[in-house]
Amino acid sequence: MNVLGKRLKESRIKAGYKQIDACKKLGISNGTLSGYERNYRDPDTQTLNKMASLYEVSVDWLVGNSADPEPTKEEEFDSLAEIKKIIDEYGIEDIFFHNIDDWKNLTPEDVEELRNHFEYIAYKARNRKENESKE
């Protein structure tokens, strides 16, 4: 029995996403996500990993290889995936990582600090734009 679709839908709802919101975050169409959730089609590995990360569950649980939806300690934190989420969230289209190993070694706290910097810079840019439009 294919549990993937059921677990995708269950985890999306539990994470508080409507289909349309999840689609935007995942970079897929609503029809594609609907097909996954109804077991009409299977996601590629990259999309499956994105969904597990977005819904904060393990890939093993999504595909039925585990009874525990919680990511294992190994899966729990992927600094590159987290940085990619931040970059996607802020609409950065081109970023170059000079030494990928340095980025891989970031801790969850380091990535949170990076997120805070992005938020601050985005906040400053919005305020600057608002002030320029008032002038």
- Distance CA(23)–CA(20), nearest Å, equals 5
Name, in order, each residue with C-beta under 8 angstroms of 79's C-beta and a sequence gap of 6 or more. 103, 104, 105, 106, 107, 108, 110, 111
* CATH match of 4-72 with 3.90.1010.10: no
What pLDDT is attached to residue 81? 76
* Tens digits of residue pLDDT in 9-61: 999 999 999 999 999 999 999 999 999 999 999 998 889 988 998 998 888 88
- Decide if pLDDT at 74 tops 70: no
- Distance CA(57)–CA(22), nearest Å, equals 14
pTM (predicted TM-score): 0.53
Q: Which of 29-33, 38-42, 94-98, 105-109 has the lowest mean pLDDT?
A: 94-98
- Residue 63 sits at φ, ψ, to 5 deg, of -90, 0
What pLDDT is attached to residue 72? 57
Of residues 91 and 26, the one with the higher pLDDT is 26
Domain ranges of the chain: 4-72, 77-134
Q: Which band of pLDDT confidence, cut at 50, 70 and 90, is reported for residue 4?
A: very high
Element (H, E) at 24: helix 19-26
